[in-house]
Structure 1
Amino acid sequence: MVWLIGSKGMLASEIAAQLNQHNIQWIGSDREVDITDKAAVEAFIQQNFSSGSLQWIINCAAYTAVDKAEDDHAMAQKLNADALINICTATKHYGATLIHFSTDYVFDGSSSIPYIETDSTNPQSVYGRTKLQGEQNIIELLPEHYIIRTAWLYGKSGNNFVSTMLRLMNEKDNLKVVNDQRGSPTYAIDLAKAVLQIIQLDNHRYGIYHYSNEGNITWYDFACEIYRQGKRMGLIKKDCSIEPCTSSEFPQKAHRPSFSLLNKQKMKETFPLSIPQWDESLTSYLKGVTQNAQF
């Protein structure tokens, strides 16, 4: 049985759908369970799982407001780092296995080739530093773990870059999008399928893994493809010009890595799985948006 933490979030919603599809029993929790409180974590497990039934804990909870974290270090630290001590303690006590999600923000973006799991970390933001501390807490406390670093996540639930672009492209005549941050998006359904593969194989190949869709683009490239496909599918009703710009034209509190491509070879070889190209996954997402718009 699975405990899905942060179950109402974008990624967790897709993981829940995969678990349901494959008849894997799970119980979810969200903000009603304070994972920064050791007693609350223990009480939830005691109340919801019979002895020996808890096999997996999937932690999708995080403080993800990247810019807000710069002024709210204490809460980011509690959710992204300190809570992992409680989760790891419970995972170990009940003999479960942890799947936890981290971020490309643990890197500083100075590389010119895709980051592998063993590359040196050097986070440049409160968000990145607290997520890295969470990783380190897991590694120190719990051998049976999978840490999956991902990037540029988008999906059906909640606001994300794709939904924001679709809205703005229908409202504005022109948009500027940064063209000096390079990476690859991650479609939440694709990552959820990878999580299911880990659970089903259960091959005990613990450690850190990287996952995003295949490709090498900037946010400007991403926006142009959203516009192209969105127009073709009838999701964008008007013309909108998209112009490239630099990050300095849109100053933000938190530093973003200028290069955050993740090398997925370890993930593909270990589990194994096929990772879709970013533009193919965008098509899948937009088809879902089109279908929902028809009802």
Structure 2
Amino acid sequence: MRVHVTGATGQLGSVLRATAPSTAGFVGLSSAELDVADGSAVQRWAAESLAPGDVIVNCAAYTRVDDAETDAAAAAAVNTDGPAHLAAASAARRARLVHLSTDYVFDGPVAPAASTRTAPYEPDDVGSEPPSVYGRTKLAGERAARAADPTATIVRTAWVYRGGAGDFVGTMRRLAAERDRITVVDDQLGSPTYVGDLARGLWELITADAGRGAVLHATNGGQTTWCGLAKAVFEADGLDPDRVVPCTTADFPRPAPRPAYSVLSPLSWSAAGLRPLPDWRDALTRALVR
């Protein structure tokens, strides 16, 4: 079995490469090596490189959430057309597609409006019109992939970090060294997900051949706000968490609306016979000491 990972130089793709089991023939594809938005390029690649029984893990995505509000065509090309092209290839070549998606596909309240929801989202809780362009293009990509290949597996995740430069956890550590106090949004609730745990879960999904045709949710367990996560980072590093000051989304307006609540239920993941990802606090501890 060969596992072809698109977006292989990104956060998740890089960790999938580093954690690939010896039984999997890892084939990493950067966006320069395969532009998933180019249908003809995907067809040529599939004809030359994709064999029956192979697996495609689509980590390629347009993730600049705010830029997508004014660059919808570019976001749709990668987030909607890309999965459709890959699913058509997997169906034609009798391969398997595992496509990564996001908590932004739900159409619940956006911050700073308070969410009355208390139950984590199940896969079928999706409505028709996510509030952000990013969310709409990702939901359209899910639907396009499943239409082209009904055996495709959709894996939604959320708040993914590695703890390095450029992600939220890494940024909090950097700011802790630069400022006496930092202000962080406290009215968005979700489940921080350590990319190492997500990668482990995806390898289990692939090697167990689980979840074909399903929509699954994979995040670390539990929930918190961005402010809560920032305070936990400070605590883990032996710093005073009171240096992190809560604020509202309205205090830091952004072009794209953010979900007020985006906790994903783990029940679909467990029902597929897969081990639940650990609690987010345990994951954060491991991420910071690796």
CA distance in 2, matches of 1:152, 1:204: 22
- The structural deviation recorded for 1:158 is 5.6
Q: Do 1:173 and 1:239's aligned partners in 2 also have CA atoms closer than 8 Å?
A: no
Runs of 5+ in structure 2 lacking a partner?
110-116
Match of 2:275 among 270, 273, 276: 273
- The structural deviation recorded for 1:70 is 0.6
Q: Do 2:219 and 2:264's aligned partners in 1 also have CA atoms closer than 8 Å?
A: yes
Change (3 A) 1:120 1:34: closer
CA distance in 2, matches of 1:157, 1:48: 33
- The structural deviation recorded for 1:187 is 0.7
Change (3 A) 1:239 1:2: closer
- 1:194 paired with 2:195, answer no
- The structural deviation recorded for 1:144 is 1.1
1:130-179: CA deviation from partner (whole Å, max 9, x where unpaired) = 00000110121111111011110001566210001111111111111111
SS of corresponding position for 1:71: coil
Q: Do 1:84 and 1:138's aligned partners in 2 also have CA atoms closer than 8 Å?
A: yes
Change (3 A) 1:163 1:18: same
Runs of 5+ in structure 1 lacking a partner?
233-237, 289-295
- 1:28 paired with 2:28, answer yes
SS of corresponding position for 1:40: helix
Match of 2:120 among 103, 108, 114: 114
Q: Do 1:58 and 1:98's aligned partners in 2 also have CA atoms closer than 8 Å?
A: yes
SS of corresponding position for 2:69: helix
Sequence identity percentage: 37
- The structural deviation recorded for 1:97 is 0.8
Q: How does 1:8-27 map to 2 (within 5 A)?
A: 8-19=9-20, 21-27=21-27
Q: How does 1:222-241 map to 2 (within 5 A)?
A: 222-231=229-238, 241=243
SS of corresponding position for 2:237: helix
Q: How does 1:141-290 map to 2 (within 5 A)?
A: 141-155=148-162, 159-203=166-210, 205-231=212-238, 241-288=243-290
Change (3 A) 1:150 1:239: closer
- The structural deviation recorded for 1:86 is 1.1
Q: Do 2:164 and 2:170's aligned partners in 1 also have CA atoms closer than 8 Å?
A: no
SS of corresponding position for 2:121: coil
Q: Do 1:182 and 1:258's aligned partners in 2 also have CA atoms closer than 8 Å?
A: yes
Q: Which moved more, 1:221-230 or 1:156-165?
A: 156-165
Specify the alignment match of 1:137 in structure 2.
144
Specify the alignment match of 1:56 in structure 2.
55
SS of corresponding position for 1:3: strand
- 1:128 paired with 2:121, answer no
Q: Do 2:12 and 2:195's aligned partners in 1 also have CA atoms closer than 8 Å?
A: yes
- The structural deviation recorded for 1:204 is 5.3
Q: Do 1:178 and 1:218's aligned partners in 2 also have CA atoms closer than 8 Å?
A: yes
- The structural deviation recorded for 1:264 is 0.6
Q: Do 1:102 and 1:148's aligned partners in 2 also have CA atoms closer than 8 Å?
A: yes
Q: Do 2:68 and 2:134's aligned partners in 1 also have CA atoms closer than 8 Å?
A: yes
Counterpart of 1:26, as a letter, is F
CA distance in 2, matches of 1:218, 1:94: 43
Give the number of aligned pairs.
280
- The structural deviation recorded for 1:194 is 1.0
SS of corresponding position for 1:139: helix
- The structural deviation recorded for 1:27 is 1.1
Q: Do 1:4 and 1:58's aligned partners in 2 also have CA atoms closer than 8 Å?
A: yes
| TM-score (norm: length of structure 1) | 0.90
Q: Do 2:153 and 2:211's aligned partners in 1 also have CA atoms closer than 8 Å?
A: no
Counterpart of 2:277, as a letter, is I
1:175-198: CA deviation from partner (whole Å, max 9, x where unpaired) = 111110001111111111111111
- The structural deviation recorded for 1:246 is 0.5
